[in-house]
Structure 1
């Protein structure tokens, strides 16, 4: 998902948390004595560290413990960007695993393995498990019971992901928080909901804000995407009821769609009767929470939506995506730099030489930047189409990262059990569409009887199921 993961929490989240957590603190009659400065200088860190230590000691019962956790959280929310970085660095450096105690416990366990007393070995294992849980995880876990506490931690991890790219000291804390969130966001805890035009405006605004594939420009875009022949489904977590976790837009159409502008058209598109549709097209999937990056929900979402649609519309026979190919143009430009005109077949080079007025190494990269130079010129478009579609098919099926497809969208769908169905020419004529893939898009087919077999073949051996239409490009 293309989002700015840097720097700040959403302002509404901050205000919500401040109000909710302040009430908890007042109810418990526990207050902070003195305020820390916004940038949390070193002398203020000592005061905050004492506050954190009191949280970890757990004295005073559950109410007092929650109040102290609320105080820490409220302090964090009052910090500026530098202060939050200092806070997180303090957690990362000072509240990790107690390594010396862990080493002693490991020695104790080794003495009992494999022939020592079974009960003593069990106690040694329990001690190891306890010591492997860092104090910072104990602190972060306390936020779970606070109003909007889970959202607080999700947004905190979004900030940590950004910080960890700049400084490795944050990576263990980011990974600790990822594991904690993964346990709370198991798919069994998520609820699939259909979102309609009657949903609260605040939720519709979030769908527009989080959209990662096809930007929402105004309310008419949202209304079009929720017309009678359209559907939107999202996963929600009970502790973040107003926040979608991941969501998908679906078009109910006749036949497999080959152009996203036709699906998104708000002026000329005629709304179809959904009962007459035979195909469900998944044309956009967005992860809504940057702080849940790396925790997979998409495969479960698609399968659940396929089942929901099949129950509601017995006439639906085909479930397919209309997906971007975000890595094609960068790959193409690298191949041109490495191979030049040798990237093309002899017949392709000959056909292109007759219509291009500049060297191939210059012409092809322009096709990923400025569509006006070529796609409205019939002779040029005709000569370019075959080579570009062949190269795109080569990229999708042969370019690898290890045993996985190099293209991230291809890898996502193939690992979920889809097959490669069809490359669509001039399927996305937006500037973004040309920048990513020279305007091409891909249909991935989800066939219920093949999903598990396709998933296993791809995951275990990198094998990709391809249709005859797709293979014809190679």
Structure 2
């Protein structure tokens, strides 16, 4: 969590908490003081200067609390500053009685005001502080952690998510290109926040920012050095099928002006507190427009994406293996299992073999595995679901933005992470300008997944 203004007010906070040092719990008289300040915030007591000072002291105090203290702070706001049930009940009764009369719209306004939570006034005062936006984003990240054990925090989370969605409307965000000449502090955050393919060194980062690459990020004007989401792009002349090749620092630099294809190979959300606040689709649309302006020869926009929950799903769904791997596949694999590995008798042994990461090092064995694993991945993408949405979070994102599943790539990510997530499988999603809107409508209306014929055939075989 940001420490920007806590340092300036540290003496005030220590005095407020009784000169304690280090992260503190929140109890006794200190909790009483916080409750009083929150009540004053909710009531808007005092002039503008005192309102701001009180909000700043509360924020600084929160930053000085340990997890237990922060949970208590948030629980106090959630439980004690919601709408008053009696006022809401009376306002609702008055509204029902006023329907069809001249008093209806006044009664509706009164009902709306009665339902307005005091929590919103507190959050709005925090937001008005110089670093208040970042404070609230980080505060929600704490909320999300605590929700698992304290469901009573859910009303506060819903209200804060709603406020953040308004404050982070895409119309307020700025698209910036990140280059090797960007401030070092920003480049360090790019390394820190990369969530798809770890940036291993400064030379790795420089390679990702070379002339045949692009990196774009969305920023909020109140958080100018904090990227909210960023996308890394490779400019090439083909549909990329291997991430190690794509990220090879020794590979020659491609002439970007000859590029026909833009590959989005990493999209990373950076702020856990903005979960549920969606602006990734707008980022991609803006990036496509920017790229087409600079490189008119570009006619294909695609991803090289991970399947981050494929292995987890596969290990929990043994019946899917029985239909994905034919008897012929199983016999071929049996013949090619090297002596140092356990022999294969049936499908359950095959699942165990895939849990041994070194299977991919044996070229003959890996080749024997390919057909079955590709079928399994195709069925995962087309049929595995979580509620009424695809099981895979990356698939949910791209299909929800109108993309098409184009191609599965076997052993496209041979890193430890790639093996742990998806047995090395990756997928290309294609953004075809002529079909994006149609794909989006079909997916959002009835959950219909746009996929190339080869993907559907592989899932049926």
Question: TM-score if structure 2 supplies the norm length?
Answer: 0.93
Alpha-carbon separation, structure 1, partners of 2:142 and 2:264: 30
Q: Secondary structure in 2 aligned to 1:125?
A: helix
Asked if residue 17 in structure 1 is aligned to residue 5 in structure 2, the reply is yes
How many Å separate the matches in 2 of 1:339 and 1:473? 14
Cα distance in structure 2, aligned partners of 1:254 and 1:461: 35
Quick check: 1:370–1:434 contact (8 Å CA) kept in 2? no
- Checking the alignment, whether the CA contact within 8 Å between 1:421 and 1:466 is kept in structure 2 is yes
- How far apart are the structure 2 equivalents of 1:140 and 1:426? 48
Quote how far apart the aligned CAs of 1:196 are: 0.5
- Maintained 8 Å contact 2:324/2:373: no
| Alpha-carbon spacing, 1:342–1:424, altered in 2? closer, same or farther (3 Å) | closer
Query: Unaligned regions of 5+ residues in structure 2, if any?
Result: 338-342
How far apart, in 2, do the equivalents of 1:339 and 1:34 lie? 60
Aligned length: 449
Alignment partner of 1:148 is 2:131: yes
Task: State yes or no: 1:364 paired with 2:345.
Answer: no
- Distance, in Å, in 2 between the alignment partners of 1:305 and 1:225 is 16
Q: How far did residue 82 of structure 1 move? A: 1.9
Q: Contact 1:333–1:365 (CA<8 Å) still a contact in 2?
A: no
Residue number in structure 1 paired with 2:441: 456
- Please show how residues 14-413 of structure 1 align to structure 2 within 5 Å: 14=3, 16-19=4-7, 34-35=16-17, 38-113=24-99, 115-117=100-102, 120-266=103-249, 268-336=250-318, 338=319, 341=322, 343-356=324-337, 357-359=343-345, 360-367=347-354, 369-372=355-358, 374-413=359-398
Moved more, 401-410 or 314-323: 401-410
> In 2, distance between residues paired with 1:342 and 1:258?
26
- Tell me the distance in 2 between the aligned counterparts of 1:249 and 1:343: 34
**C-alpha separation in 1, matches of 2:323 and 2:405:** 27
Deviation at 1:43, TM superposition (A): 2.6
Counterpart of 1:320 in 2: which secondary structure? strand
Q: Kindly indicate whether the alpha-carbon contact (under 8 Å) linking 1:341 and 1:361 is maintained by their aligned counterparts in 2.
A: no
Q: Deviations over 1:86-144 (max 9, x none)?
A: 1111111111121121111111111112x222xx2212221222222211210110122
Q: Distance in 2 between the 1:77 and 1:411 partners?
A: 35
Distance 1:109 1:440, change over 3 A: same
Q: CA deviation at 1:363?
A: 2.9
Measured after TM superposition, the shift of residue 404 of structure 1 is 2.2
* TM-score, normalization by structure 1: 0.90
Check 1:443–1:343 CA distance in 2 against 1; reply closer, same or farther (3 A cut).
closer
Deviations 1:444-473 (A, max 9, x none): 000111111100011111112222332342
Deviation at 1:346, TM superposition (A): 3.1
**C-alpha deviation, 1:262, in angstroms:** 1.1
Separation in structure 2 between the aligned mates of residue 156 and residue 145 of structure 1, nearest angstrom:
15
Q: CA RMSD in A?
A: 2.0
Deviation, structure 1 residue 21: 6.4
Residues 1:426 and 1:47: Cα distance change in structure 2 (over 3 Å)? same
Give 3-state SS (helix, strand or coil) of 1:203's partner: helix
User: Does the CA-based 8 Å contact 2:241-2:412 persist in structure 1?
Assistant: yes
CA distance in 1, matches of 2:158, 2:294: 40
Q: Closer, same or farther in 2 for the Cα pair 1:442/1:190, shift >3 Å?
A: same
Q: Is the 8 A contact 2:403 2:429 kept in 1?
A: yes
1:280–1:316 contact (8 Å) kept in structure 2: yes
Assess, with a 3 A threshold, how the Cα gap between structure 1 residues 121 and 20 changes in structure 2: closer, same or farther.
farther
1:35 and 1:398 map into 2 onto residues whose CA distance is 55
* Gapped regions of structure 1 (runs ≥ 5): 1-8, 26-30
User: By how many angstroms is 1:379 displaced?
Assistant: 2.5
